[in-house]
C-alpha cells in the first residue's frame, strides 16, 4: 500500500477545471460509461505514476486494449479501468497476458450490477 500521507505530500495542486458532480451523477444514473469516464480524475495519481513506472505500463496496456479511462483507486497502488461492456473481456485478457505472471488477474465488474442509486 501507498501511505496516504506520502501521496498528499507529493501532490501539487493545479488550477484545472474541477469535475462536475452533477455530470458524474447523471452518468452514473444513466449507466453512461463514456460520460462517467470523462467525469473522473484522481489528483493524487501523478506522483504514483512517477514513483511506480509499472502503473503507467499497466495503464497503457489497458488504454490500448480499449479502456475509456484508467485511474489509481484512492492513494494507490490499485488501478481501475472503465470500458464499454463489449470490450471488458478483451481488456482483461490483454492485462492478464501482459501481467498475470507476477500480478493478480484482472476482475471484471459490470456497472449495471452496482448502479442502485
What total of structural domains would you count in the chain? 1
Per residue of the chain (117 residues), give pLDDT as tens. Answer: 788 888 888 887 777 777 788 988 998 888 888 999 988 888 888 888 988 999 999 999 999 999 999 999 876 678 999 999 899 999 999 999 999 899 988 888 876 655 554
Does the N-terminal peptide bond of residue 77 adopt cis geometry, omega within 30 degrees of 0? Answer: yes
**The predicted structure's pLDDT at residue 112:** 62
69: domain CATH number is 3.30.70
**The predicted structure's pLDDT at residue 14:** 75
Task: Count the neighbouring beta carbons within 10 Å of the beta carbon of residue 69.
Answer: 19
User: Does some domain include residue 36?
Assistant: no
User: Does some domain include residue 102?
Assistant: yes
Task: Judge if pTM exceeds 0.85.
Answer: no
Amino acid at each position: 500500500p501507498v501511505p496516504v500521507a506520502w501521496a498528499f505530500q507529493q501532490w501539487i495542486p493545479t488550477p484545472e477545471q474541477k469535475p462536475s458532480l452533477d455530470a458524474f451523477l447523471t452518468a452514473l444514473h444513466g449507466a453512461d460509461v463514456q460520460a462517467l469516464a470523462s467525469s473522473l480524475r484522481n489528483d493524487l495519481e501523478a506522483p504514483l505514476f512517477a514513483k511506480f513506472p509499472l502503473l503507467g505500463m499497466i495503464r497503457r496496456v489497458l488504454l490500448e486494449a480499449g479502456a475509456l479511462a484508467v485511474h489509481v483507486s484512492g492513494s494507490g497502488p490499485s488501478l481501475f479501468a472503465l470500458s464499454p461492456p463489449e470490450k471488458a473481456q478483451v481488456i482483461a485478457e490483454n492485462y492478464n497476458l501482459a501481467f498475470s505472471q507476477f500480478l493478480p488477474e484482472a476482475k471484471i465488474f459490470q456497472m449495471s450490477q452496482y448502479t442502485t442509486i
